[in-house]
Chains A and B, each alone.
Chain A
């Protein structure tokens, strides 16, 4: 396939309007991703914070991680076959897919929040208690801010996972950019498949870079050791070899689910 064919596809005005146009498909894909991550965060933040803070029900984290071994394609088909017929409205195709996307997004989010709180220096926790903070204050003012780097890297892998699986979900009739891949396959339109794949890959890359930037700038300088002063940042840079960087810590232990 020549770059000219791909260029011709992208510059065809037909791709830029209507239900099958790139703007609409992209908006659908972003909407599924946003809804899923929102539901996932609503589930994962309180649960991860509670398990991390109290140290109870740790098996929930282990169980959620074990669930990542289930092939996402199988989960998608199984859930659509069981949930789909129960829903009579137009949402019969959307709801099962969102359910699966949430199931896949929760484990990385949950283990990010939990690992973040778990890794808080016990001395910092004791100091907060010693200052007279209540359990709730310790959680919201010390543990959660300290857990932010690992939580954000959990959000990063969850986002990639959702973008990738939403693409596959086009095979159970979900909209979004995956339609180009699946419809192109059905009609043997290889140009459409390749161009759709480029769009999906670009979306994933942009999302990852944006979240990496958020990870860099949202974390308190006191935690990341960034730009408090020249001397400080230089010492943190030389110490980098021995200290695992926050973005790497969960990515090396939990990326099992990132690309699907």
Chain B
């Protein structure tokens, strides 16, 4: 406990780096997964091929991906960009399916009502389908957020600075307190991500509360 207090500023710096490495890919991944999921929800052969491709990308173990990306992207191995790209790939892999499922889960009668009211292609997607899919997409984002926070800590093995540093450093120095601080900090960060996503999802779906009240 005293160790954590003495190193509070270092913990906060690394937590900030960790949040950046795990959080930015969530946003990027969502932005990429939305059109992919939309395509997958509309065409069945595209659904099969998109989901298979993203599923295969998801199987690549993270440490292997962190090491392979520099030679594919032409970056240096210590460049945090590798981690951002790797985490974005995992997020896209998780969210494409979620977005497709979310968009498919929209009640057909709702969709027909929207068409009858004159909503065309993109306007209907933006104003009707997407908002109604928010709860499903948010659930997928929560899974991706927790998984990202955990996977980013692996990057400390190749020397990228974030909370995982406390794990590798604590192990190297046989100092369990530091390892525990690292684990707890990761858990807290995952919790913060989870809460933020839930709050945003609630704010975006006011009708779910109107029904409950």
What residues make up the interface of A, taking CB atoms closer than 8 Å to B? 1, 68-75, 77-78, 80-82, 160, 163-164, 167-168, 171-172, 178, 181-182, 185, 190, 193-194, 196-198, 200-201, 204-205, 207-208, 240-242, 244, 248, 251-260
Contact of B62 (CB < 8 Å), options: A171, A185, A190, A259 = A259
A260 and B183 in contact, given A172-B171, A194-B67, A252-B97 (Cβ under 8 angstroms): no
Q: Does B30 contact A (CB under 8 A)?
A: no
25 residue pairs from A and B, CB less than 8 Å apart: A68-B146, A69-B149, A69-B191, A71-B154, A73-B156, A73-B164, A73-B168, A74-B167, A163-B61, A168-B61, A181-B63, A190-B77, A204-B60, A208-B59, A248-B51, A251-B55, A251-B97, A253-B143, A254-B143, A255-B94, A258-B147, A259-B59, A259-B61, A259-B151, A260-B62
In whole angstroms, how far apart are the Cα atoms of A72 and B167 in the complex? 10
Contact indicator A1/B171 (Cβ below 8 Å): no
What CA separation (Å) do A71 and B152 show in the bound complex?
A: 9
The number of residues on chain B lying at the interface, defined by a beta carbon within 8 Å of a beta carbon of chain A, is 51
Query: Which residues of B (133-174) have their CB < 8 Å from a CB of A?
Result: 139-140, 143-144, 146-147, 149-151, 153-154, 156-158, 164, 167-168, 170-171, 174
Bound together, the chains give a CA A7 to CA B157 distance in angstroms of: 26
Q: Do B67 and A193 have beta carbons less than 8 Å apart? A: yes
Dominant SS among interface residues on chain B: helix
Interface of A is mostly: helix
Q: Which 3 A-B pairs have the closest CB atoms?
A: A164-B61, A197-B64, A74-B183
Q: Smallest CB-CB separation from A244: which chain B residue?
A: B101
Contacts of A197 on B, CB cut-off 8 Å?
63-65, 67-68
